[in-house]
Amino acid sequence: MDKSQKFELIGLTAVVLSLLFVAYEINQSNRIAKGTTSFELSRNWMELNKFTVTAPGMLELRIKWQNKDFVAENDAELQKSIAYAKMLINAWTALEEAHENGLASDGYLQIAKDDVKSTLMHRPGLLPVFEILFSDFDLASYEVLAPIRERVDQGKN
């Protein structure tokens, strides 16, 4: 092997090692991004739960939403209901977006889908609030919101 072939072999080896290192760094960055996303999504749920427990009147509203015939008694109840529904939609759609971008697992997305169904089952009084939001925002592209869309559409018929 002459001198130029040795340099070519050394150069090729350096390129391969560099590519392996870059692949390792990308893999590590992806794992960090997934962990950070998971933490942020969990924090969203914690903040939502904290809001429900600490905001004045929210626990009482959660009880009222168990009644499918819920009607807000005043504008404050309506605005709190809308704020809560927006927070739910934001949490659910953020999780779906993270899943679509490879940052959240299938299991985590399933938790969101189950939460949507649970919300409809245990707090049916929120359905009119979701109907307001669905008329104000284009949420048709979110699979996670399909059960709400179906219920809103059933109510219109």
Domain ranges across the chain: 35-156
By percentage, how much of the chain surpasses pLDDT 90?
Answer: 53
Beta carbons within 8 Å of 139's beta carbon, 6+ residues apart? 89, 93, 133, 145, 149
- pLDDT at residue 1 is higher than 80: no
Average pLDDT, stretch 45-55?
Answer: 86
Please, which pLDDT band fits residue 122 given cuts at 50, 70 and 90?
very high
By percentage, how much of the chain surpasses pLDDT 70?
Answer: 99
- pLDDT at residue 156 is higher than 70: no
- Give residue 2's region: left, alpha or beta (phi > 0; psi -120 to 50): beta
Q: What local confidence, expressed as pLDDT, does residue 157 receive?
A: 58
Please, which pLDDT band fits residue 96 given cuts at 50, 70 and 90?
very high
